[in-house]
Amino acid sequence: MSFSGLLWQLFAIVLALALAPLLTGWVNQCRAWMQNRSAPPLLQPYYMLHKLFLKDVVLAHGASHLFRFAPFVVFGCMVLACAIIPTLSTDLPLAPAADTIALVGVFGLARIFISLAAMDIGTSFGSLGGRREMLVGFLAEPALLMVIFTTAMISQSTSVATIVETLAHRDFIIYPSMAFAGIAFTFVSFAENARVPVDNPATHLELTMIHEAMILEYSGRHLALIEWAAGLKLYAYSCLGLALFFPWGIAEGDSMFGLLLAIPVLVAKLAIGGALLAGIESVNAKVRIFRAPEFLGTAFLFAVLGLLVRLLLETRV
Amino acid sequence: MPALLPIDVLLIAACAWLALGFAGLAAPRNLFFISKILFPLGAAVGVLCGLTSLRFLGESAQVAVLAIGLPDLPFHLRLDNLTAVFVLLLGFASAGISVFAAGYFRKGEGAAPGLMCLQYHLFLASMLLVLLADDAYAFMVAWECMALSSFFLVTTDHRHAEIRRAGYLYLLIAHIGAISILLSFGVMTAGSGDYSFAGMRAQALSPFWASAAFLLALAGFGAKAGLLPVHVWLPEAHPAAPSPVSAMMSGVMLKTAIYGLLRVSFDLLGTPLWWWGVVAMSIGLATAVFGVLYSTVQSDMKRLLAYSSIENIGLLAVALGLTLIFHAYRMEALAALAMTALLYHCLAHAGFKSLLFLCTGSVLHATRERSLGKLGGLIHRMPWVAWLALAGVIASAGLPPLSGFVSEWLLLQAFLFSPGLPHPWLNMVVPVAAAVVALVAALAGFAMVKFYGIIFLGQMREEALKDAHDAGPWEKAGLVWLAGLTLALGVLPSAVIGYIDAATRQLLGAGLADKVREHGWWMLAPISPERASYEPLIFLATIAAAVLLGRQLVHRLYHGRLRRSAAWDCGYVFQGPRAQDTAEGFSQPIRRIFEPMFRMERHFPTIRDERPYYSVKVEDHLWHWLYLPLARLANGVSALITRLQGGRIAIYLLYSFLTLIVLLLVARP
Amino acid sequence: MDFFTLTLAIPLVSGLLLTVVGERAWAPNLNIIASLGTFLASALLTVEIVAAGPRFAFGEMFFIDSLNVFFVALTAFVGLTTSIFSGPYMRNEQEHGKLTRPRLRLYKSMFQMFMFTMLAALTTNNLGILWVAMEAATLTTVLLVSLYRTPASLEAAWKYFILCGVGIAQALFGTILLYFAAERVLGETGNALLWTHLVDVKGQLEPTIMALSFIFLLVGYGTKVGLAPLHNWLPDAHAEGPTPVSAVLSGLLLNVALYAILRVKVLADGAISGSFAGNLMMGFGLLTLVVAAFFLSRQKDIKRMFAYSSIEHMGLITFAFGMGGAVANFAGLLHMTMHSLTKSAIFFTVGHAAQKCGTQLMEDIRGLIRINPVVGWGLMLGTLAILGMPPFGVFASEFMILTHAMKHHPWATPILLLALGVAFAAIFGKVQPMVFGDTHAKPLPHAPAIIPVFVHLGLVLMIGLWIPPYLTRWFHEAARMLG
Amino acid sequence: MSAAIPLSAQLINLFASVILLLAFAMLAQRRVLPLINLFALQGLTLCLSTLVVAFTTGQAHLYGSAALTLVLKAILLPWILHRLVRKLQVKADVEGLINIPATMIAGIVLVMIAFNVALPISQLSSAISRGTLGIALASVMLAFLMMIIRTKAIPQVVGFLAMENGLFLAATSATYGMPMVVELGIALDVLVGVIILGVFFFQIRDQFDSLDIRHLEKLKER
């Protein structure tokens, strides 16, 4: 770990903070285009955050300290997640702090806090949202772990940095297992980020919402932080997906050139990814809440299959 | 005067616990004396035990022979590193529980305090003796004393029929388990008649008999630990007991069963066979899935925790199985990893599950309510308990940065490196097991959110909850101690592994400590940092920094204004407490997804109902598939045999006559 | 007068005396004092035997060695505690109108006579006298069992008399056969029934006759031990007699009958090569154990249930002696001791419990711990002890029996454990609600004598944790004698 | 062969056979008073057989035994039983659980068993009592059978006493008598037993208004 490494780490975090709302805006824009709507401005999320920060917090009478504390924790968790996922470089000082398993743990921690906060006021929708979020979570989490296991077995490591290094800088080998893992990962990301087949971030339709139901009672800076954290989560998942399945372009070591090159590559990859995400969302319909377990169960199965394929076909590779 | 050896200190501690118990009997109704003097002293003894074993860990074994026991088999005691790890667990966990208990017992509740004091300290002393015992007789005596004293504690409030039933079931299964353990010991002596553990170690058993011994031990200790299918007592007994006792049973007593399994399979039996591990792992997985699923659908807070204990025991059995597999194939580094996960999870579970049970105790005291359907919103009235319970909940859900995550992380790491096993079939199965473990961990989160959210968050479901009060100073102290342990185990894994490594090394001949120490005390990297690493302190610091910095920045750049208003709830007007999810409602998705796993009796309201209601009762399939048929069978046999006693004297004479004639005709020297 | 004479004379004399003065107010005290005297004499006798070795008395008529002196001491001790217990118990019965003064007189004198017959049976050297004493013990206890003169008690006594009478007749046939065999070796010297002489020549006794004789003796005395399927009198007699009688029946009479079998087994083992006698005893023991265990779960009457528990333990002990060898014999002797002490303690508490609740039906006995915690805890601990829970001594002996069985007869272990498990489930399931829970019963006019219960349980507890060295020596010697 | 058997042995065998015959007769007898008489007759035969043994072997105490048998079994006990029957006004008919022919067949089977069992012992025995042991065992078993199939108290007791007779036969004829002290003890026990039983009969009759032991079937497992 070096001073410059530390600087780059900080830069990665700041970049994440900055890029996350942009990614959300970009996805929204793409979606609007594909759905023949007039698109909101690309910077709309920033405006929203700014406005929300300006607003007073209106707190329900029954809210406890946990309710006020939770947005910060969720935000903190997402910052940490973005800090350890190699976006630009694999040589991050914070990377050893948490490997992929711990990364799943971070997401889990955030989920627990947001669900608990949702139950805190004691409204019907709040607890409904909390319950559904945990439902999605308990199915998505193991699937994600299995995806990670598949990659971890290839690289003999659970450290994200090592995985990326292995995958990106070895001779190019086709791993069939990675295809399974990739599909599973896509499924999981949709569910985790409250995207269409499972949830719809753009509606408040009471009977179907998950994420929005949980944050109904939030306002002002709390809501801003949660929205920001949601953006960060999308960013983190995207970066994780890119790092696992399309790792090329991420710098190894802290050579200035490599790092500088990594920024535009990342932006480009994110842009493509975001557009794809919007596309998939647009061609799909939201499923009933009880189809979500099937959807995620499929993801889990794919992930396990990936693992088995890895063991069956590739152990001697 | 020779220096006091650690084993002597522990013996003195056991005697001290006994003495404290009998001191309580001297003044059975003097609540102040018992709760404010004896129980804190008991806690001090617990700390002493913990510190002694900390000091001891890493040293070579010490033995002692007491002058009591059978004529040719006096009590052998032995303190080695495996024992020391569990004594550590016992000492530190019991210290917190004892302090809590000092504030918990009140006047006019259940049995006389003096009696409770005796049973409680007897329970502690017998657990210590279980860990120290080095021959079958001493072990069985201590083991059954432990069962007995805890049985009496469970049935403290024996006026309720269901508590008596729970106690009966508990003691019955404990006894049957004990019989199985005794048989296992018997097999291990291999007919030499030497029932000291040293004698058993010296035997070289054939694979068949070694397997028999292992399976018997698994059944016997499994009955104590709550492994499927002999788990049925656990969800009955834990809720029935007073909360400190539930905490002690769940946090500490279940671990003695794990201790026994470790002792038998690694110490007494020598080299394991690979399929033992598969058996242990399969049972463990089934138990874990069963436990966590049932835990999510409970409506009684202590039952929920009890099922969660079953889940954790399942995970421990999985870790045990994995260790056995690795050890059987001489992959000692990986075996050490899995065993470290196992021991770590023992410690972690002792901390967080005791903490949670004690929290339910405080809630129970404040509200007199155990049913989740009648609680809610207690974070406002009981902030201490609520915030400390949060630590337990996070740890129990296996989330960073607390203790539960570390052990889960280690376990998953062990799974991850399982390929390379020489057995292709195993190679395939083991990762699937890892998937199940992941599923279980995630479901545990579901259960814990339910537990915490419904008890502490939301609106109060009953009017009376407004009078709830926070825990008293003693209770708080106990909770803080255990929460502190949970946190310490969460953020200082390398240091802790440095201690428990001695036990791993003793059992497997390999350990993690050297590799872990290489990379500094803040980093946990069991193999190498390139392969996997976890730095909980930095992890925690980063999140904390983000939280604080975020808050400061937001407040500095914008403002910190806040006002209160009614909740929004999509404009829905009727926001009474009944609009919230009930305990049953919260778990509805689980019941629906895993429907075949449960035996449900549901009542749905119809249009014609005058007073419509909905109810659901979840029961255990195994109870109906295994236990009731067994009971019917025994009853049938017994009905058949009772016909012997028909009351007619001529028939009785006939028996006698026939016996004589048959013997005369058949028996020949 | 030496201690042995005293041991036999005190119960005989006081028994006769009590038939005369048994209605006086101080008669119960006389009963206790006589029992105390017997106990002291037997204790001193024990000391003497332990110090000086075996001895004869009245020529060669009586013979006291380390085997029977231990039973003598145990019998005298349990007799003492039972007489202490029966004081307030019988007074309560009298005030409930169940017994009249003449009956009480009969009770006291028969109690002492019973003690005498048992002590005589234990100490006699002559197998014929042994038979006579056993029969006399039956007769005295028949009177004790029918003490209440209720239809049920008469029925129980009748069955007891007929079944045990028939049984003991078979034992007599066995004794005659034994004499027949011995006579061929020892000649018509009149010594042919003296055990000490028989032991010296046991190798020369005719095996065929000895086998036949042992079968008759086993079936005969086995009826009295309560071996299945000869046990049918036992639960009735235990349930319908006064509780102190149940205590001594279970605690002492069964032991004495088993002792008689043991004495004969030594001879049979000497005469017959192979383990003919041992196998028979193991078979009976296992059968008894299993049958009794399954009987337990359907009991409604508390005394009946513990009677079946006695049968079960007798089965276990018989099995232990059947296995033979130093360890098993040691364990069997220890188990006999533990069973006597524990079971009589249980019957003491059961007596008080039944008296308090006015019934022997278990479903009507509830919440003992609330009426009288001492009785409640006594019953609970006693039950746990008899079920073989450590740290009580029953576990110590069961541990030795089981481990020995595992070593030498592994096939029997599952059966033993099954029976013990079933018994545990049955007894504990019934006792727990009796001890715990709520109740409406009222206290009794005379406070129960509860010290005997805790003295017994205390001893049992002590032996579970620590067997005194002299006791060990004593057991070892006796076990060696049994071969 | 037959010439080799001395007269005394022939006599003993004869008496033993008579005892066996009487045992069969008792098994077949339906009425109470003749049953008691048969029992007395059996006691008398036993006494005679003992006398023969005493005379042959010259053992003094066997004369005592014979006298004891005469007094107790042939006179005292039958007399007590007679008195009891009169006092208790027992109905004369005896009801059996199974009919007489079946009982007889069972009895014959029993005799065969008994002889078979006693065979190895008889071969060991000295010539004088060869076979008596088998007969003694057979009469014990027949008495046992009688106890099983009779439903009234008094016949059951008679069966019990007949069993004692069989035992006595074994003790005196097969083994030339047990030591006197044992015989005295046995006799005392039998006497006390019968007295106690007599007391019992009155109590049972008081309680149940009958001596039918089928009333005594209340104590059982349900």
- Identify the residue among C161, C170, C294, C337 best suited for mutation to test binding to B, counting B beta carbons within 10 A and taking the highest: C294
Q: Could you tell me if residue B538 is inside a domain?
A: yes
What is residue D152's three-state secondary structure?
A: strand
> CB D218 to CB B653 under 8 A?
no
Does the pTM of the predicted model rise above 0.95?
Answer: no
Do residue B421 and residue B504 come from a single domain? yes
Taking 3-state DSSP, the helix, strand and coil percentages for chain D, each rounded to the nearest 5, stand at: 80, 5, 15
Q: Are C183 and D175 within 8 A, CB to CB? A: yes
Neighbours of B527 (CB within 10 A): 18
Residue-range definition of the domain harbouring residue B342 = 271-555
B601: three-class secondary structure by DSSP: strand
Provide the angle, in degrees to the nearest 10, between the axes of the packed helices C254-271 and C101-123.
20
CB contact under 8 A, C390 and B140: yes
pLDDT surpassing 80 at residue D181: no
Q: How many CA atoms lie within 13 A of B415 on its CB side?
A: 31
- B295 with B418, same domain: the answer is yes
Total domain count, chain B: 3
Please give the structure tokens belonging to residue C321: 């002696």
Distance CA D173, CA C22 (A): 45
* Domain annotation covers residue B582: no
CB-based contacts of B476: which residues, under 8 Å, 6+ apart?
Answer: B384, B388, B470
Residues B375 and B502 in one domain: yes
**From C250-259, C320-329, D193-202, the region with the lowest mean pLDDT:** D193-202
In the predicted structure, residue A20 carries a pLDDT above the cut 80: yes
Does the beta-carbon distance from B654 to D148 stay under 8 Å? yes
- Tokens linked to B554: 């937001």
H/E segment holding residue C294: helix C276-296
Per-residue pLDDT, averaged over B582-603, amounts to 85
Nearest to C152 among D164, D188, D219 (CB): D219
In this structure, the answer to whether residues B517 and B643 fall within a common structural domain is no
**Quick check: D201 contacting C, CB < 8 Å?**
no
Interface test with A, best of B570, B578, B582 (most A CBs within 10 A): B570
**Of B555-569, D117-131, D204-218, the least confident:** D117-131
* 8 A C-beta contact, residue B519 and residue B525: yes
**From the CB of residue B202, how many other CB atoms can be counted at a distance below 10 Å?**
13
Return residues 169-188 of B near C (CB < 8 Å): 171-172, 175-176, 179, 182-183, 186-187
Domain-located, residue B225: no
Quote the minimal CA–CA distance from C10 to chain B in Å. 35
Write the CB contacts of A18 (distance below 8 Å, at least 6 apart in sequence): none
Interface of B with A in 13-42 (CB under 8 A): none
B563 by DSSP, 3-state: which? strand
Whether residues B95 and B21 fall in one domain: yes
Cβ contact C144:C241 at 8 Å: yes
Co-location of B381 and B510 in the same domain:
yes
Nearest CA-CA distance, residue D3 and chain C, Å = 26
With contact defined as beta carbons under 8 Å apart, do A80 and A106 qualify?
A: yes
Spatial separation of the C-alpha atoms in residues B440 and B247, rounded to whole Å: 22
Asked if A touches C (at least 3 Cβ pairs < 8 angstroms), the answer reads no
- Which residue in B172, B187, B652 is closest to C425 by CB distance? B172
Over the Cα atoms of chain B, what is R_g? 26
What radius of gyration do chain C's Cα atoms show? 21
Q: Are the C-beta atoms of residues C226 and C310 closer than 8 Å to each other?
A: yes
Contacts of B376 (CB under 8 A, 6+ apart): A122, B454, B455, B456, B457, B458, B459, B460, B461, B462, B465, B577, B580
Question: pLDDT at residue C258 above 90?
Answer: yes
Q: Evaluate whether B128 touches B90 at the Cβ level (below 8 Å).
A: yes
D chain contacts of residue C173, beta-carbon cutoff 8 Å = 137, 140, 167, 170
Q: Neighbours of D (≥3 Cβ pairs closer than 8 A)? A: B, C
Asked if residue B43 and residue B145 are part of one domain, the reply reads: yes
pLDDT of residue D1: 41
Q: Name the domain boundary from B152, B171, B206.
A: B206
Distance CA B437, CA B285 (A): 7
Let me know whether B506 and B642 are in one domain: no
How far apart, in whole angstroms, are the C-alpha atoms of residue C211 and residue A85? 88
D 18-47 residues with CB below 8 A of C?
none
CA angle B322/B327/B332 to nearest 5° reads 105
C in contact with D (at least 3 C-beta pairs within 8 A): yes
Residue among B544, B546, B570 minimizing CB distance to A125: B570
Other Cβ atoms less than 10 A from the Cβ of B29: the count is 11
Question: Looking at the domain assignment, is residue B255 inside a domain?
Answer: no
Say whether A124 and B551 touch across the interface (CB within 8 A): no
* B394/A contact by beta carbon, under 8 A: yes
| Res. B421: pLDDT tops 80 | no
Burial C271-303 (b: 16+ CB within 10 A, else e): bbeebbbbebbbbbbbbbbbbbbbbbbbbebbb
Q: Are C293 and C426 in contact (CB under 8 A)?
A: yes
Q: Please, which residues 9-38 of chain A have a Cβ atom closer than 8 Å to chain B?
A: none
- Taking 50 as the threshold, does the pLDDT of residue A317 lie above it? no
Other beta carbons within 10 Å of A1: 12
Contact A122 B458 (CB under 8 A): yes
Q: Which of A194-208, B18-32, B352-366 has the lowest mean pLDDT?
A: A194-208
Q: Inform me whether the pLDDT recorded for D127 exceeds 60.
A: no
pLDDT of A253 reads 64
CB pairs under 8 A between B and D: 40
> Nearest residue of A to residue B405 by CA position?
A105
Contact D208/C at CB under 8 A: yes
Task: Please count the other Cβ atoms lying within 10 Å of the Cβ belonging to residue D112.
Answer: 12
B532: nearest CB among A65, A126, A159:
A159
A chain contacts of residue B552, beta-carbon cutoff 8 Å: none
Could you give phi then psi for residue A78, rounded to 5 degrees?
A: -70, -35
Same domain, B519 and B631: no
Angle between helices A124-155 and A160-169 (to 10 degrees): 50
Neighbours of C414 (CB within 10 A): 10
Helix or strand holding residue C432 (H, E): helix C412-435
Alpha helices in chain A (DSSP H): 3-34, 44-54, 65-84, 100-120, 124-155, 160-169, 176-192, 211-214, 220-245, 256-283, 292-313
CB C348 within 8 Å of CB C85: yes
**Contact call for residues B187 and B220 (beta carbons, < 8 A):** no
Closest partner CB to C432 (pick from B168, B642, B649): B168
Rounded CA-CA distance B219/B368 in Å is: 37
> Is B484 a domain residue?
yes
Per-residue confidence (pLDDT) for residue D130, from 0 to 100: 62
Supply φ then ψ for residue B524, to 5 degrees.
Answer: -110, 105
Query: Which of C230, C273, C384 lies closest to B655 in CB terms?
Result: C230
Any CB–CB contact under 8 A between B579 and chain A? yes
C449 min Cα distance to partner chain D (Å): 30
b/e per residue, A269-283, with b = 16+ CB within 10 A?
A: bbeebbbebbeebee
pLDDT at A254 (0 to 100): 62
Say what the pLDDT of residue D2 is.
46
In a domain? residue B493 = yes
C-alpha dihedral (A197, A198, A203, A206), degrees to nearest 10: 130
Tell me the pLDDT of chain A averaged across its residues.
85
Q: Beta strand B599-603 with B615-619: parallel, antiparallel or unpaired?
A: antiparallel
pLDDT (mean) for A254-258: 72
Contact B446 A137 (CB under 8 A): yes
Asked if the model's pLDDT at residue C180 lies above 70, the reply is: yes
Q: A263-267: which pairs have CB atoms within 8 A and are 24 or more residues apart?
A: A263/A15, A263/A88, A266/A87, A266/A88, A266/A239, A266/A242, A267/A19
- C228 pLDDT band (50/70/90 cuts)? confident
In a domain, B368, yes or no: yes
HSE on the CB side for A30, CA within 13 Å?
20
Residue where a domain terminates, one of B166, B184, B206: B206
Q: How many CB atoms lie within 10 A of CB D152?
A: 20
Cα end-to-end span (Å), chain C: 34
Segment B604-622 shows an average pLDDT of 84
Taking an 8 Å cut-off on Cβ atoms, the answer to whether A146 and B438 are in contact is yes
Nearest to D200 among C158, C175, C184 (CB): C158
Helices (H) and strands (E) in chain D, counts: 8, 0
Chains in contact with A, where contact requires at least 3 CB pairs less than 8 Å apart: B
Instruction: Examine the domain organization and report whether B318 and B460 are in the same domain.
Output: yes
pLDDT of residue B126: 94
* Rg, C-alpha atoms of chain D: 18
* Position D126 pLDDT exceeds 70: no
| D207 phi-psi bin (left φ>0, alpha ψ -120 to 50, beta other) | alpha
Give the SS3 label for residue B74. strand
- Classify strands A57-60 and B562-565 as parallel, antiparallel or unpaired: parallel
Distance of alpha carbon C437 from alpha carbon C460, whole angstroms: 27
ipTM of the complex, rounded to two decimals: 0.88
Q: C167 and C224 in contact (C-beta within 8 Å)?
A: yes
Based on the domain organization, do B282 and B417 belong to the same domain? yes
Mean pLDDT over residues A131-141, rounded?
87
Last residue of a domain, one of B533, B555, B577: B555
**Torsion sign across C-alpha atoms D187, D192, D198, D201:** negative
- Average pLDDT of the residues of chain C: 88
Q: What's the start-to-end Cα distance of chain B, in Å?
A: 64
Q: What is the pLDDT of residue A170?
A: 66
**Cβ atoms of residues A88 and A242 within 8 Å:** no
pLDDT in tens, B496-548: 888 888 888 888 888 787 777 777 777 788 777 777 888 888 888 988 998 99
Those residues with Cβ within 8 angstroms of residue B241's Cβ, 6 or more apart along the chain or in another chain: B150, B153, B154, B156, B249
A137 contacts in chain B (CB < 8 Å): 442, 445-446
Kindly state whether residue B257 falls inside one of the protein's structural domains: no
- Selected residue of B315, B378, B384, B399 to mutate for chain A interface (largest A Cβ count, 10 A): B399
How many Cα atoms occupy the beta-carbon half-sphere of B468 within 13 Å?
33
Show the tokens assigned to B568.
């929004």
Give me the mean pLDDT over the A47-76 stretch: 90
CB contact under 8 A, A98 and B459: no
